[in-house]
Amino acid sequence: MSLNHLICMPKEKKYQKRKISANRQILADYNAVASSMPMVYGLIEVDITDSLAKIEEIREKENYKVSMTAFTAKCLGITCQVNRPLNTFRKGRKLIVFDDVDVSVIIEIVTETGKKVPYNYVIRNADKKSVRTITEEIRSYQDKKIEEREQLARGQTKYTSLYTLIPGFIRRWVIRRIITNPYRLKKLAGTVGLTSMGMFIKGKGGWLIPFRDKTLNVSTGGIKNHVIIRDGKVEERKLLCTAFMVNHDIIDGAPGARFIAHVSELMGQTTYLDDLDKI
């Protein structure tokens, strides 16, 4: 076979070219801007043995499935209300401390074409709602049908297709204006971020590093079994791999550690599960 033949030989096509959707482009630009925020990380194992047992008890006795995401959002809401710096944002030389703790959660919903997509839903005033109310709120939204372009557009779907036509530096400038404006960010994505992936990796441990667009970002990963010795007896406990990411420009190490200890303790208790309507 001649060299000329090798050069001119058509290559076998073993790939496909697909156009990046406007939603994916928005998310990529958002990630690029958010990645510049100065964050510190904490990887924690939260003992949720008692909480899980209570949730299972409620399911068996009342035939009611409590959302673990709703329970976690409630715990974050209560703890952030006590630890106000975690619900604070910087705007220039000032700090904006919000009274409302709005927790954004990622839920999976089905589009009108039957495709499952992640959707960022904001639970407003999570600290002032019961676990039952938050659970019902999440469930009701999961049952909705949306167009795929509504995943990020939030009612501005007619402009979504035009987004990719704008030069990249302008797109990222606009997104930076949103992220660095506490009022716009709160309206769009809440004040606290929560990502729950444990339902997709059941029976395995492992951490998920959360998205980094807020002062406090939390993600719950897998639940792993852990054996301890208590009062001379072997006892199995359920540990939830939880990652915390906080903005170091606003939160110092010691306050951040105290917050993590507080929310971990609350998640391990059944205070808001003994009475699902407790606020």
pLDDT digits (tens, 9 = 90+) for 160-217: 777 778 898 999 999 999 889 999 999 999 999 999 986 666 667 789 888 889 999 9
Bridge-partner residues for 146, per DSSP? 111
The pLDDT, as a whole number, for residue 95 is: 96
Q: How far apart are CA 100 and CA 123, in angstroms?
A: 10
The pLDDT, as a whole number, for residue 215 is: 96
The pLDDT, as a whole number, for residue 111 is: 78
- Number of other CB atoms surrounding residue 25 within 10 Å: 18
pTM over 0.95: no
Structure tokens at 188: 């769009």
The pLDDT, as a whole number, for residue 7 is: 57
Which tens digit of pLDDT belongs to each residue from 213-240?
Answer: 999 999 999 999 988 888 888 999 999 9
The pLDDT, as a whole number, for residue 123 is: 98
The pLDDT, as a whole number, for residue 78 is: 98
Residue of 48, 77, 65 whose CA lies nearest to 132? 65
**Beta strands 94-97; 103-111: pairing state:** unpaired
Q: How far apart are CA 32 and CA 173, in angstroms?
A: 11
* Burial (Cβ within 10 Å: 0-12, 13-18, ≥19) of residue 237: middle
What residues contact 144, with CB distance under 8 A and at least 6 apart? 109
Token pair 């927790």 is at which residue? 103
Can you give the length of the chain in residues? 279
pLDDT lower than 50: segments of the chain: none
Bridge-partner residues for 228, per DSSP? 235
Greatest alpha-carbon pair distance for the chain in Å reads 81
The pLDDT, as a whole number, for residue 152 is: 59
**Beta strands 233-247; 116-123: pairing state:** unpaired
The pLDDT, as a whole number, for residue 1 is: 53
Q: How far apart are CA 124 and CA 160, in angstroms?
A: 25
Residue of 221, 223, 215 whose CA lies nearest to 193? 215
Q: How far apart are CA 223 and CA 206, in angstroms?
A: 8
* Count of helix runs (H) and strand runs (E) in the chain: 11, 9
- Number of other CB atoms surrounding residue 194 within 10 Å: 25
The pLDDT, as a whole number, for residue 4 is: 59
Question: Domains (ranges, CATH) in the chain?
Answer: 39-147+186-274 (3.30.559.10)
Q: Are 134 and 128 spatial neighbours (Cβ–Cβ below 8 Å)? A: no
Local structure of 149: helix, strand or coil: coil
The pLDDT, as a whole number, for residue 151 is: 58
Report the half-sphere exposure of 263 (CA within 13 A, side-chain side): 31
Q: Are 186 and 97 spatial neighbours (Cβ–Cβ below 8 Å)? A: no
The pLDDT, as a whole number, for residue 228 is: 85
